[in-house]
Amino acid sequence: MDADHNRSALNLLQQEIPHLRRSALGLTRDPHYADDLVQECLVRAVDNIDRWRSGTNMRAWLLTILRNVFRNDLRRARRDPVQGGADEDALCVPVPAAQEARVALSEVHNAFLVLSEDHREVLLLVGVEGLSYEEAATVLEIPVETMRSRLARARKALRRTIESGRAAPPDPRKETRGG
């Protein structure tokens, strides 16, 4: 690829960093690990910038890289818990404030943390990052209909958890995958 393409791609990449950080924080629930994850994602993206095609969705491309780095870290952590994964002691647990809006936001946040990784991912991509169903399905490497049904189940699970009043931050060591 030519230098102009790479320069243009790097400018687009820079604009996506806040979105990457928000997504990484949603995946990891640890600000320090999220920063490390974004950094590794950016290193890989810059190293492979010639693979990105002009006119395609830069955010979707970067979120795919971010997700793959995260999944690789999870696999590494399962094989060797000392070397991989987030620092569990660094988890941030929100403290509810006295104001009703702050309490409600805290309940939603805690309910979100209780969701399975699959449900958090789909809600982050569609609800927070604003990706279309098709783009989110591409990032998740699943069929669009699977993504739609997963999103519906994620919304239902989030609503049910909030309504039950049992939303508490999960123990990341016991995280399960849902569909």
Number of structural domains (the chain) is 2
pTM comes to 0.57
Domain boundary pick from 23, 56, 79: 79
Across the chain, mean pLDDT equals 81
- Rounding to the nearest 10 degrees, give the CA dihedral for residues 160, 161, 166, 171: 150
97 and 168 part of one domain:
yes
CATH code at position 44: 1.10.1740.10
Q: How many residues comprise the chain?
A: 179
Please give the residue range of the domain that contains residue 23: 3-79
56 and 113 part of one domain:
no
The answer to whether position 85 is within a domain reads: no
Please, where are the H alpha helices in the chain?
Answer: 3-15, 17-28, 31-47, 58-79, 100-114, 117-123, 133-140, 144-164
The 10s digit of each residue's pLDDT in 97-136 is: 446 667 677 788 888 888 899 999 999 999 888 899 999 9
